[in-house]
Amino acid sequence: MLTDVRATGKSRSQRINIDYYRQKTWLTRSRGLLALFAAALAAGYCVYVFGSGGPSHLSTGPLAMAHASFENDCQQCHLDFTPISADALRFTSSRNLDRLEETCQKCHRVDHHFRSSMKPEFAVIDQHCSGCHTDHQGRDYDMSNVASKKCTQCHGDLPATCKDASSIEVRTNITAFTAEAHGDFPSLKKGDPGRVKFDHGQHMMPGQVDNGVKGGFTIAMLEPNLRNSYRKSAEGTPQGDDALVTLSCADCHQFAGSPSPPSVGDHEIGRHIAPIAFDQHCAACHSLNAVGKVEDTLPLPHAAPWKEVETLIASKLVGGQQVGSIRMPSDVVRKTPLVGEGYSGALPNLSSISKEGGEDKEMLEASVRANLAAVAQRCLQCHVPDDITDEGIKKLRASDSPTLIPTRWFKRGIYDHAAHRKIDCAFCHADAYPKISSGETASVATSEIGSTAETLEKRDDSDVVMIGGIETCIGCHRDPSSSVPNSLTDEATKELLGGQGNWASDACIECHRYHWQRPVTPMANEVEPQVAISKDGLP
Amino acid sequence: MVSAVLLNRGHSGLHLSFAIPSFVLAAVGVGWWIFESITAQRLVGGGSASGLACGIAAGLVIVFEMLLWPRKIFRRLRLIPAKYWMAAHIWFGIASLPLAIAHCGLHLGGWLPASLMFLFVLTILSGLYGLAMQNFLPKWMLWNLPAETIYSQIDYVAKISVDDARQALLASCGRRMTGEAKSAADPLPELIPASSEPIVIGALRGSGKTSGRSLITTKFRDSSADAEPLWTAFDELQPYLLEGKRAETPVTSRAGEAQYFQTLRGACGPDSEQIVEMLESFCNQRRQFDIQQACHRWLHAWLPVHIGVSVAVTVLLAMHAYTALKYW
C-alpha cells in the first residue's frame, strides 16, 4: 500500500514504539537480578560466619601453636568492642588492660618490669601484653621472639620513661648491641664479690705449685675416693698415682641446670655452670684431716661448727688411741699395739681423761687445741677470718644466705654455656689461665698433660673477675649485615671457637629477660615452686 | 548525568571541583598512614589512628556511592543536579581505593576483610572500565554509526525497513507474480505494477559531517523488467534485515554484501539502480545496527556487575565494621 506523499509528524512518530522506555531490557533485568543475587550471597556469607563458619573468617591470621586450642574462642582474649591491638587508638582503658593482663596471666604467670617506676604512658606499654607478643601471625610464629626495638623504645632513652631518672641504675641509652651503644657489662666491673680466696693461676699449674717448686700435688696425695676424678689419660693410658695433678676447667666447673631460678623458663640443663661445692670440687686436695691421716681416713666435715669439729677431733684422738691407730706422746713405744692396751701398758680411760688437772686430760686438750689450730689454718687458706667463726658459719649455713662464690656473675643478663659449649673456655676466661713467660696465655695447655710447668708464671688472681667483657661477645653477636671482624679470622681464635659459627643474633632477648619475677600476688590455689628461690633477686 | 561522565574540557570545571578535594582527601589519609607507619617502623593496621580514619573515610565514601541508587530511583525529587552526583560518584569513588588500602595496612587479614577488599577492588575496576567506555565509545559511535537508533527499537526499526523495502519494490516492480497469479488471465485489481506516485521510506542521509536516519519521499522508476531478480533479492535479504548477523545470508559479511550487490546490479538494468541502492542502504543500516548492539553491550554490560558487586561490598562492609570493632 502506498503511504502519504509527505512524511507527517505522526508518521515519523510511528517509526518507533512511543512507549519504548517502559520496556524492560536485558540490562534492566540483569541489573536487578545481580543486585539481588549479590545481596543474598553476601547476606548468606554473613549468616555463615556468625553461625558455623566461625571466627576463622574474622581472624586476621592463625594463632600461634600454643594458643591454637582456643582459636575459635575469641572471647578468651578479646573483649567485645574493646581494643586489644597494640596499634589501636588509645581507647585502652585500664579496665581493658587489666582484663587483658589477667587473661594472659591465667597461663603465663609473670610479673611486670619496673612498672611502678614508669611514667603512665610507658606503664601502659608494660601492661599491654600484645604490644610485644603479637598473635595471629601463623602457627609457627614464635611469640616470645620480641624484636629489639620493643626494648629500645624505652631503653633507648630511659630518663624519658621513668618517673625518677635519678633512680635508674643501668645505662640510660642502649640502642644496639655494640660496644658504643650498649657499653661493657657493669656487673663485671664491680670486682669479685666472692669471699673465697682462690688463685686460678696456681691451680691451673701442674701439681699446683709455683714455678720451679718441687713437691707438687700428685694423684696419690688426693683423697682415695676422689683420685679417679682427677686421673687423666694419655693415649689411652691412665695416669699413675705418682703423676702430678693437672686440673682443667671441667674438673671444677660443670654444666648444670639453673642453680637458683628466679626467672621463668631458665631451667635448662647446661645453661649454667653448677655452683662450686667444697665436697665435690675442693675436698680431694683440701680435705680437713688434721688428726693422723692414713689411707681411708674420713675427713672432717666442711663448714661444721667448731664445737662439732672439736668433738670429732677429740673422739678421733681417744678412739684412735684405743684401737692403736693414733699414738699419743705418753704412749710407751711398742712396735705393735695390743688390744685393750694400745701402745702403752695402760690406756687412758674415761675417768682419767675427764679428771681435772689430770695428765691425760691436759694432753688430750692440748692435742685437740693443736689440731683445731691446724684446721683453722687450713680454713684460712681460702676463707676470711669472719667467715670461719661460729657466727659466720651459722650465717652461711642458713638456706637464704648468699653463697661465698657468686652463682651468677651477670646481674641482668643470661649466658647460656650449653649454647657455647663448642668454644674453648679460654675464649672468654683468658684471665683464668696462667701466663707463660713469653707473655702469652696458656690456652689449652692446662687440658694437656705434660705442659711445661717451668715456663708458667704465678699470679695472684683471687680478686680478678675472669670473665671477658662485651668485646668477647660482639665479634659473633652482631648485625647480620655486618662482615666478620678481623678478631675472629686468625687461626688461634678459630681454634678457640672450636668450629662454632662466627655469627649469632644480637637481639636483646638472647641475653635478657623482661619478665624475670613471678607475680607478687599469687592466684587462688596457686602452688609455689618447690625449688628454692635465691634471694639474689637477679634477672 | 550522561554528559557528566565525559572527561573533557567542557566539563573540566565540574570534575575538578570534585577531583581536587578527593585527591587531597586521599593524599592526607595515605600520608598520615605512611607517617604513622614510619614512626612505628612497621605497617600499622586498621586499628591505628590513621588506619581507622582512612577506613572510616573509605566507608563513608562507599555509603555515599550507594546513595546514587536511591537518587536515581527518586529522580523526580531532583535532589541536587545529577551531574554533580555523577562527578562526586566518580572522584570520591576513585579516592576511596587508596584510603581502603591504607586502612588495611597492606594486609588482607581474614577471609571476610579479604573478600571485602577483593570485591571492593572489583567494584572500582568495573567503575573505571565503565568510565573509560563512556568516554570513548559514544563519540566513536557518533562518528561511525550514523544509522544509530534507539537500542531497544533496533528490531522494530529493522522490521519497518523491511516494510519500506517491500513498498518500494511494489511501487517499482509491482507485485510479485506467484504461480497461481501467473496462471490467471487478469492481474489482481489492487496491483499497480509500476506506480508513478512517490512513497515515504526511511533512509540514511548525510550532509557534510552530519548524517543520520530520516524519512524521505521518493518516486521510484519503473523496474518491472527486473521484478524477478529484485524480488528474489528481497527474499534473500529479508532475514538479514530482520535478524542481522544472526542470519546466514549472502550479505552477512561485508565482502559478501559487496559481491552480492555487484552481481545484482549486473543482473538488473539501469532503471533498477535506485531500488538496488535502497536495498544496499538497508543492508548497511542493519550492519550498523549490529555494531550498535555490540557497542551497547560494551557500554552497559559492566553496570550490572558494578551494581551487584557494590551491593555485596555494602553488606560485607557493614559486617566488617561490626566485627572489626567487636574484635578490635
B135-182 pLDDT tens trace = 999 999 999 998 888 898 899 899 989 988 988 888 888 776 655 544
Residues of A in contact with B150 (CB under 8 A): 16, 20
Q: State the smallest CA–CA distance between residue A128 and chain B in angstroms.
A: 14
pLDDT tens-digit readout, A386-428:
999 999 988 888 878 888 888 888 888 888 888 888 899 999 9
**Domain boundaries defined on chain B:** 3-137+301-326, 151-298
The answer to the question of residue A13 being in a domain is no
Kindly calculate the radius of gyration of chain B based on its CA atoms and give it in whole angstroms. 30
Query: What domain range is A462 assigned to?
Result: 200-275+405-510
Q: Grid coordinates standing for B297?
A: 553491550
Q: What are the pLDDT digits (tens) for B282-302?
A: 999 999 999 999 999 999 999
Q: Which of residues 182-211 of A touch B (CB under 8 A)?
A: none
Residue A23 located in a structural domain:
no
Is residue A219 located within the same domain as residue A268? yes
Which residues on chain A are in Cβ contact (under 8 Å) with B109?
59-61
Q: Are residues A354 and A451 in the same domain?
A: no
The alpha-carbon gap from B16 to the nearest alpha carbon of chain A, in Å, equals 30
Alpha-carbon gap: A509 to the closest alpha carbon of chain B (Å)? 19
pLDDT digits (tens, 9 = 90+) for A263-322: 444 455 566 788 888 888 888 888 877 665 556 677 888 988 999 999 998 888 888 777
A1 vs B contacts (CB less than 8 Å)? 167
State pLDDT tens for residues B17-49. 999 999 999 999 999 999 999 988 888 888 888
Looking up cell 673465697, which residue turns up?
A196
Binning pLDDT at 50, 70 and 90, where does residue A357 land? confident
Q: For B103-134, how does the pLDDT look when each residue is reduced to its tens digit (9 = 90+)? A: 999 988 889 999 999 999 999 999 999 999 99
Residues of A in contact with B305 (CB under 8 A): 34
Looking at CA atoms only, how far is residue A535 from chain B in angstroms? 39
Mutate to test the interface with A, among B44, B72, B75, B152 (most CBs of A within 10 A): B152
Q: What share of chain A is helix, strand, coil (3-state, %, to 5)?
A: 40, 5, 55
What cell was used for A230? 682427677
Q: Please indicate, yes or no, whether residues A466 and A505 belong to a single structural domain of this protein.
A: yes
Q: Are A96 and A162 members of one domain?
A: yes
Residue A31 within a domain: no
A522 has a pLDDT exceeding 90: no
Q: Are residues A140 and A215 in the same domain?
A: no
> B270 phi and psi, to 5 degrees?
-65, -25
Which residues in chain A touch residue B215, judged by CB atoms under 8 angstroms apart? 7, 11-12, 15
The pLDDT mean for chain B works out to 86
- Does residue A524 lie within any of the structural domains? no
- Percent of chain A beyond pLDDT 90? 19
Q: How far is A31 from chain B (nearest CA, A)?
A: 4
Question: Which residue in B87, B170, B79, B126 sits closest to B313, CA to CA?
Answer: B126
DSSP string for residues in A240-272: PTTSBP---HHHH--EES-SS--STT---TTSE
What confidence tens digit (pLDDT) does each residue in A222-241 have? 878 888 888 888 778 888 88
pLDDT tens profile A29-60: 888 899 999 999 999 999 998 887 667 788 88
Nearest to B153 among A4, A20, A56 (CB): A20
Q: Does A40 touch chain B (CB under 8 A)?
A: no
Q: Do B199 and A2 touch (CB under 8 A)?
A: yes
In a domain, A34, yes or no: no
How many domains does one find in chain A?
A: 3
Q: Give residue A287's pLDDT.
A: 80
Share of chain B above pLDDT 90, in %: 54
Instruction: List the single residue in A7, A33, A60 with the smallest CB-CB distance to B109.
Output: A60
- Say how far apart CA A437 and CA A218 lie, in whole Å: 24
Q: What is the pLDDT of residue A333?
A: 57
Q: Which residue has the cell 589512628?
A: B49
